[in-house]
Each structure stands twice: as structure tokens, then as C-alpha cells.
Structure 1
């Protein structure tokens, strides 16, 4: 059986390290996805996307094929893997759900999908892996070893600000720099 394991990180750089470590552990590139905000994406074009990936942790592998997307409610992101392809298809086809729908179709609960999309909107990054049961422990150890965002604490923080769910019709978050500077929350 295969499970989708997803974690969010405060920075694209951390997510890139996680992707590199997953590939180094033998996790198939086709089973890994990353999507996130990187300040360089605001001034880069699609051709430069691979340079961002290579410059932040992967001269080869998944990150070498990274591309750019403009996602409603989020703005420009860097993305690679199956989740990026699904999100790009949703954006290009104006499909309902956009990034949230992409997470849900990958097997993520609706509540978690809204959280992950909001995390990207606020400047974070998400790594998602389709892992067979025999690789699950390895994938979780790598992902959890990189200090992912404490989901419950972050959701409480978002809700304290009045957030209830991701709104793809909202303007992209202009406070990305402030969110990136926020201290990391402890892992469960």
C-alpha cells in the first residue's frame, strides 16, 4: 500500500534539503513533490527555475527540473514533482480547487489541504511523498528530522488571526518576509 506523507517547512531552503535527503535515501524522484515560496521566484522566469533548484540544494535530481507557477491566492511559487504537475493543470484549466484540490487529490485531508495551501501563501514550502509502506519510516524520519512546522500550533496561530480556510480569491500574502522571519515552532 502507498501513503502520501506531507510536511510543511518555514523555508524553501529547508524543503530543498529534505528533497535532496529523500533522493539520497533512494526515494524515487517521481514520488517526491515540493512547492513553495522562494523570494527569487518573484523576479525569476521559468527558465531560471532550474537555477533556483540547483542553487538551493540540488544540482541534480528533482530540484534541477523545478519550474515556476502563479497560483491564485498565492502568487509565484517554485514547484517540482507530481503535485506541481497537478497544480499546474488545475491553474491552466481554471479547475476548481487549485492547490487545495491538488493536495486533496493526492490523498491529503481537506483540512490539511487548506493548511498546506495557506502555509505556502504565507511563505512556507511543502514537501509531499508518495511512499510504499516499506519506505514510510525512512521518509518520515527524513522529513521530521528537518524540523517541519508544528501543524497544530501553526493552525492555532492562523485561526487566532481570523483564518478559517485558504481563499484562492484572496490577494497573495504581502507579509511573506515577516512570516519567514518568524521563529520556528517546535515539532510535536
Structure 2
């Protein structure tokens, strides 16, 4: 039997370190995944370039760019040199382009490339749900990426679950219960793939709200 261990990070660098620590703990690359909002990864070594949208880009142009981003999501399958070597760009409805690698990203890529109706839910939310994560948790994680977070998820044998949980907790992961409470306090109830994606300014404002709670 296997267990899915998933954690959220506010810092892309923390998530990178978590992935490396999982690999060092003996968890296979094929069982580790990272999904990050493009603005969280902007400027980070190893992340795809050109992640920011021009200030004068219209909503329609941004939507078109988001859809086109799926076409650049190559090389993520069969990546060598660690999970992070497979980082690519994938467009997710309701989130926009994300920087992603690993099994979760591959499932989302298949949904988008296949033209699945509701690809956002069929991708991140659906992949997590199908792997055993509750729908409620899966929607929270998708919403967290939408708001600028970075997700790290590992599929591990039951006897490795505690190790994976310790590694991810020690890497500075977010308190999911507290963060969900913050979302719900602003009226959020579920992930909505038809919602507009967050701009860099939206994410900065969101992070300012997080900081006020600490």
C-alpha cells in the first residue's frame, strides 16, 4: 500500500529543498512532484524563464498565453538528474501557467493536452483525489497554488510515510489548517477553475495578508 504525503510552501526555494531532501531520503524521483505558481518561481535558478506577463497584457491575451503555455510543457516526462531537472510550464484553468514536475504534473499535463473538460479539476484536484487525497484537501491545495503557493507531493510506501512527513515538515511547510481558515475567512469555499488567475500584484497582496497573521 502507498500513502500520499502533500505539503504547501510559501517559498519556492523551500519547496525545492524539500524535493531534494525527499530524494536523499530514498524516495524515487518518479514518486515526487512539485507544482508552483509561475510568479512564485520567477527568477529562481532552474525555473523556466519568461514567467511574468507584460503590464499591458489584456485579460484575453493572458488567457491565450496561458493556454499556449501547455504546449511548452515538454521534457517533464522521463526527466533525468532529479525531479527538478524536469521542471516545465503547464497551463491550468483557474490558476494559469504553473511550473511543475513529477507524477502530479504529468497527470495534469495529460488532462490539459487531451482537452479534458474541467482540466483543472481533472488535473491537480483529480490526480490528488484519485491518489487518495480527500477532495476537500485537493481543492485547498489547488487554491493555494492559485494564490501563489508551491505544492510538494510524494507517493510513498506506508512504511516510508513518517519519513516523508518529517522531511516535508522540517522544510518549512505551511500550517494547512491555519491557511485554510484564512481562505474561508475571506469567503472561499472551493476551488473554482473558472475564477480569474492571480496577477503578481494579487499574490503580493495575498502574501501581505499571510504575514499579518504571523
The TM-score normalised by the length of structure 2 is 0.75
Bigger radius of gyration among the two: 2
Secondary structure in 1 matching 2:211: coil
User: CA separation of 1:110/1:47 partners in 2, compared to 1, >3 Å: closer, same or farther?
Assistant: closer
Q: Please name the residue that 1:55 is paired with.
A: none
Tell me by how many angstroms 1:158 deviates.
Answer: 0.5
Tell me by how many angstroms 1:180 deviates.
Answer: 4.0
Q: Please name the residue that 2:16 is paired with.
A: 16
Q: Please name the residue that 2:134 is paired with.
A: 109
- Of 148-157 and 163-172, the range deviating more from structure 2: 148-157
Q: What is the distance in 2 between the residues matched to 1:79 and 1:129? A: 14
1:158-173 matches, cutoff 5 A = 158-173=183-198
1:179 paired to 2:186: no
Q: Please name the residue that 2:104 is paired with.
A: 83
The TM-score normalised by the length of structure 1 is 0.85
Q: Please name the residue that 2:85 is paired with.
A: 64
- Alignment counterpart, residue 119 of structure 1, candidates 112, 131, 144: 144
1:43 paired to 2:68: no
Q: What is the distance in 1 between the residues matched to 2:178 and 2:140? A: 11
User: CA separation of 1:24/1:134 partners in 2, compared to 1, >3 Å: closer, same or farther?
Assistant: same
Q: What is the distance in 1 between the residues matched to 2:96 and 2:49? A: 9
- Of 170-179 and 34-43, the range deviating more from structure 2: 34-43
Q: What is the distance in 2 between the residues matched to 1:179 and 1:110? A: 24
Q: What is the distance in 1 between the residues matched to 2:206 and 2:49? A: 16
**Contact kept? 2:125, 2:135, Cα under 8 Å:** yes
Tell me by how many angstroms 1:69 deviates.
Answer: 0.3
RMSD: 2.4
